A and B are shown apart, each in its own frame.
Chain A
Amino acid sequence: MSLDKATVARIATLARIRVAEGDLDRMVGELRNILAWVEQLDAVETAGVDPMTSAVEVTLPQRDDTVSDGGYVDSILANAREPVKSGAGGFFSVPKVVE
């Protein structure tokens, strides 16, 4: 599976990381090398092997349905850029989204 510039550009968009046009070629090279290296795995026979789903052998713990968290809007907004107060609460803000 060979990686091209268009694919890297698409992946970068999916990951929301701006890659300058001029950096694409270098990026293609780097990623191709790494992918070629990990493709060694093709040599491993894995027919009938279930993929590992967890490194621990316990079942999913479940908690009770009680309200035990939240209610600290100031802490939630304390690290935010451009928070907006509103009544007893407040909002995060981002550039306007057009739907």
Chain B
Amino acid sequence: MGALTDLTIADARDGLRAKKFSARELASAHLDAMAAMRDLNVYITETPERAQEMATASDARLARGEGGPLEGVPLAIKDLFCTDGVLTTAGSHILDGFKPPYESTVTANLWRAGATMLGKANLDEFAMGSSNTTSFYGPVKSPWRRPGDNRDLVPGGSSGGSAAAVAARIATGAIGTDTGGSIRQPASFCGIVGVKPTYGRCSRWGIVAFASSLDQAGPLTRSVRDAAIMLRAMAGHDPRDSTSVPRPVPDYEKALTGDIRGLKFGIPREYRIDGMPPEIDTLWERGVAWLKAAGAEPIDISLPHTKYALPTYYIIAPAEASSNLARYDGVRFGLRVPGESLDDMYEKTRAAGFGAEVRRRVLIGTYVLSAGYYDAYYLKAQRVRALIARDFADAFRKCDVILTPTAPSAAFAIGDKADDPIAMYLNDVFTVTVNLAGLPGISVPAGLAAEGLPLGLQLIARAFDEETMFRTAGVLEAAAGFKAKPPMLGA
């Protein structure tokens, strides 16, 4: 395994254009590395033939002096995106054998930009989780370990396979989805960059739905520039998604000027929570210092409803999920457990097909929507959600971007928090507010915890102001100078 798997997207793009190596060589290097690292359980399905075919086509285009912005760049695709003719599982038993006869808009956009598919990355079942341990296909192991500690760690989740693939250098970049932090939290755990764009920026068409009002696709990469390049290729208005927003997509890479002089960045006091490791607080302070040093001005802000964001999320997301997952019934695709009657078949199929966490959330969601409880739970949560969105609107009258930690801890061992759903839910305490308000957020690797594991800082921007988010993230990235790699990769 050589330097080819270590390249950023920007470097790979430039190297391919300069004919320093071919797209086939780049794909092969990754396919070999994937085979060597199967123990991490990063991919549910590897697609080597398709990768080679796509790379061959990229080489032909490059030879003609053509090629899109991601020409020849090999990517891991979260197995929540429907890919034409390729097994798509959502990490669930219930989608057994499902090969969609269509391609999601986001992946189609990537292929049009020239990217190569390496395979379908593992994830928490139906994207429900923060540790990638709920997958029917088994947990993903993070390429990171605590020095001197052999326990396998979680990569975070739900886009755990995507994050681990990028960190382990078995994909140049990856796509994930983020409903409550599912891109940013694993990015933080794996020491990479993860972006959740503004709601409506990327089409949801062809993405297996978890919670429709919160789900957004986004990139996971090893640099802010790579994330900017990928998001530009993924995003755009899609007439097939009624919540997709008809706005032009800017060239995000151009926003990386390195100049944030005069920018106002907010520090929300409510993000200082009880029981948070002091080193996270320290890292946050350091982030403030870096941005100040670059000429930006810190502003104290208040997001008073922050502490209600998780309970709000754990009403709205399960409610939407309980309805979105009703279509998995054994009739048209996926698993069917035979039954004596239609209802018997439904109940057996769904009991066998859904894992414990999915069953739990579907039941909670069914309950909060049921007669007599709708107002007390669902409607109440949507009102609190409006207040959370209002908090951000108020804050953005005072600042241009908000700086927070991404997650309240570094990665933990596989099996930890397994018996305590609420402890697991707390992973998303800093990210979930952003989904509820529909805003863009990015996690940038900013340092290592004392135990040698990566920690990220999050930047939140106004809706559709990804440019300010990227510009600030570029400065943060440069200042942090995060160079650490998972120990398993060697020096």
- Note whether A and B form a binding pair: yes
> Residues of A at under 8 Å CB distance from B?
1, 3, 7-8, 11-19, 27, 30-31, 33-35, 37-42, 44, 46, 49-56, 58, 60-61, 63, 72, 75-76, 78-82, 92, 94-97
Determine the distance from Cα of A49 to Cα of B387 in the docked complex, in whole angstroms: 8
Determine the distance from Cα of A8 to Cα of B367 in the docked complex, in whole angstroms: 8
> Residues of B at under 8 Å CB distance from A?
97-99, 101, 199-200, 213-214, 239, 242-243, 245-246, 305, 307-308, 311-312, 314-315, 322, 326, 329-334, 336, 338-348, 350-351, 354, 359-360, 362-364, 366-367, 370, 373, 376-377, 379-387, 389, 421-422, 436-438
Asked whether A11 lies within 8 Å of B308 as measured between CB atoms, the reply is: no
Determine the distance from Cα of A50 to Cα of B384 in the docked complex, in whole angstroms: 9
Asked whether A95 lies within 8 Å of B345 as measured between CB atoms, the reply is: yes
Asked whether A58 and B363 contact (CB < 8 A) given A16-B346, A17-B350, A49-B383, the answer is no
Asked whether B308 lies within 8 Å of A35 as measured between CB atoms, the reply is: no
Asked whether A46 and B342 contact (CB < 8 A) given A58-B246, A63-B239, the answer is no
Determine the distance from Cα of A97 to Cα of B339 in the docked complex, in whole angstroms: 12
Determine the chain A residues whose CB is within 8 A of the CB of B344 once the complex forms.
Answer: 95
Determine the distance from Cα of A53 to Cα of B378 in the docked complex, in whole angstroms: 12
- Closest Cβ of chain A: how far from B47's Cβ, in Å? 19
Q: Give A15's nearest chain B residue, CB to CB.
A: B366
Asked whether A80 lies within 8 Å of B332 as measured between CB atoms, the reply is: yes
Question: Which residue from A19, A33, A44, A56 sits with its C-beta under 8 Å from B199?
Answer: A56
Asked whether A52 lies within 8 Å of B340 as measured between CB atoms, the reply is: no
Asked whether B243 lies within 8 Å of A37 as measured between CB atoms, the reply is: no
Determine the distance from Cα of A11 to Cα of B308 in the docked complex, in whole angstroms: 25
Determine the chain B residues whose CB is within 8 A of the CB of A13 once the complex forms.
Answer: 347
Determine the distance from Cα of A37 to Cα of B23 in the docked complex, in whole angstroms: 51
Determine the distance from Cα of A95 to Cα of B379 in the docked complex, in whole angstroms: 37
Asked whether B373 lies within 8 Å of A1 as measured between CB atoms, the reply is: yes
Q: Give A34's nearest chain B residue, CB to CB.
A: B364
Determine the chain A residues whose CB is within 8 A of the CB of B314 once the complex forms.
Answer: 34, 37-38
Determine the distance from Cα of A53 to Cα of B243 in the docked complex, in whole angstroms: 12
